[in-house]
C-alpha cells in the first residue's frame, strides 16, 4: 500500500505481486473485516474478506481515489488464471491508516507527578475535527476538559500531572478514524524508565534510560530488568540494545539507588507484517501491565 499513512484527499495505490510472475493473471482486491462465518477468510481466520467494488482487474494495482475515512483498515489481494482456474492464496493483510498521530512531550511513556505533559493530535495540514481520547480506571473520556488540562489548537497540556492521569491515550475523529495509541504511566515515585513511545522496528537501535526525579541531568548506576529478570547492570544509567529483534519485546523496568521504576511494554514490529499499535492492542498491554503490577 502506498502511502500506508494517508492524509485527506490522498490517492492510495494497492499493489499485488505474484512470485515468479508470468502473464495471464487477473487480480482480485479485498478489504478485511472481523471474522464472520459465511464470508471468505484468511487461512488463520484472523479476518474475513469482502471484495472491493469492481475488484477484478488485469492490472497489478488498484487505486482508491480519493481515499477517505472509511477506507482505513486492512487490504488483501489474490490472483487467478488458467483453465481449469488456479487461485493463489490471499496475500498477507496490509493496513491503511489515517495521517494523524498522537505526539507526547516529553516524548516518553513514563512521567513524574507534578510535571507538565503535552499531548498533540498531529495531522499534516489540518487537525480540525480530531479530539483527544483517554481510557483510565474511570472509563473513556474525551476532549481536554478544564479539570484535565488546557487546550491550545490541537494540543492538550496537563500542567501538573497526577497518578490518575495514567491511561491509554489516542486521537479520534467524528467519522471514526483513529491515531496510534500510547499507554502513559504517571508515577509518584522517584525513578522512571524512559522508553520508546511508539513501536520500534526490528534492526533498530534502542536506548532505555533510568531517570531520577531530583537528578534529571545525571545518569547514576542502574539495573535493568525485562519481564522481571535482571538483564543488565549499567554505570551510566542507560542501556542500549544495538539491534532489536522480536525476542526483545516485553516489559522493562529499572532500579537505581534501590528504587524501582514502573514497568513499560516495549513493542518490536516487523514493518512489512505488523500493523501500527492500535488502541485495542495498547489497551490489552495496559491491562497486562496493571495485572502484573497488582500481583
Low-confidence ranges of the chain (pLDDT < 50): 125, 272-273
Query: Three cell numbers at 288?
Result: 497486562
Query: To which residue does cell 481510557 refer?
Result: 135
Do the beta carbons of residue 127 and residue 153 sit within 8 Å? Answer: yes
The answer to whether 75 and 31 are in contact (CB under 8 A) is yes
Q: Give the pLDDT score at 289.
A: 66
Predicted pLDDT of residue 71? 77
**pLDDT on residue 241:** 94
Residue 67 CB contacts under 8 Å (≥ 6 apart), including other chains: 6, 10, 11, 12, 96
Q: Which phi and psi (to 5°) does residue 250 adopt?
A: 160, -170
Structural domains of the chain sorted by starting position, each given as residue range(s) with its CATH number in brackets: 5-98 (2.60.40.10), 100-294 (2.60.40.10)
Instruction: Judge residue 86's burial from the number of C-beta atoms within 10 Å of its C-beta, 0-12 exposed, 13-18 middle, 19 or more buried.
Output: exposed
pLDDT on residue 290: 65
Q: Quote the pTM value.
A: 0.65
pLDDT tens, 163-184? 988 988 888 776 556 777 889 9
Coil, strand or helix at 163? helix
State pLDDT tens for residues 209-254.
999 988 766 667 899 999 999 999 988 889 999 999 989 999 999 9
Amino acid at each position: 500500500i502506498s502511502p500506508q499513512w494517508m492524509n485527506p484527499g490522498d490517492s492510495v495505490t494497492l499493489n499485488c505481486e505474484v512470485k515468479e510472475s508470468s502473464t495471464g493473471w487477473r487480480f482480485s482486491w479485498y478489504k478485511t473485516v472481523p471474522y464472520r462465518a459465511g464470508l471468505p477468510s484468511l487461512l488463520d481466520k484472523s479476518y474475513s474478506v469482502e471484495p472491493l467494488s469492481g475488484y477484478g482487474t488485469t492490472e497489478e494495482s488498484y487505486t482508491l481515489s480519493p481515499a477517505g475515512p472509511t477506507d482505513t483498515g486492512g487490504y488483501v489481494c489474490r490472483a487467478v488464471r488458467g483453465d481449469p482456474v488456479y487461485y493463489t492464496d490471499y496475500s498477507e493483510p496490509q493496513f491503511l491508516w489515517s495521517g494523524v498521530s498522537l505526539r507526547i512531550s516529553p516524548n516518553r511513556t513514563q512521567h513524574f507527578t507534578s510535571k507538565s505533559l503535552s499531548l498533540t493530535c498531529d495531522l499534516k495540514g489540518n487537525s480540525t475535527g480530531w479530539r483527544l481520547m483517554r481510557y483510565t480506571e474511570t472509563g473513556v473520556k474525551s476532549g481536554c476538559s478544564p479539570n484535565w488540562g488546557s487546550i491550545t489548537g490541537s494540543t492538550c497540556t496537563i500542567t501538573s500531572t497526577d497518578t490518575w492521569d495514567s491511561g491509554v491515550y489516542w486521537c479520534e475523529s467524528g467519522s471514526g478514524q483513529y491515531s496510534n495509541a500510547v499507554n502513559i504511566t504517571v508515577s509518584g515515585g522517584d525513578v522512571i524508565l524512559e522508553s520508546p513511545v511508539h513501536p520500534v522496528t526490528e534492526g533498530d537501535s534502542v536506548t532505555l534510560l533510568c531517570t531520577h526525579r531530583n537528578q534529571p541531568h545525571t545518569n547514576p548506576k542502574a539495573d535493568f530488568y525485562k519481564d522481571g529478570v535482571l538483564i543488565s547492570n549499567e554505570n551510566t544509567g542507560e542501556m542500549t540494545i544495538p539491534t532489536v529483534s522480536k525476542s526483545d519485546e516485553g516489559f522493562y523496568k529499572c532500579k537505581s539507588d534501590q528504587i524501582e521504576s514502573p514497568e513499560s511494554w516495549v513493542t518490536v514490529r516487523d514493518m512489512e507484517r505488523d500493523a501500527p499499535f492500535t488502541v485495542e492492542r495498547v489497551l490489552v498491554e495496559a491491562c497486562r501491565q496493571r495485572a502484573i503490577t497488582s500481583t
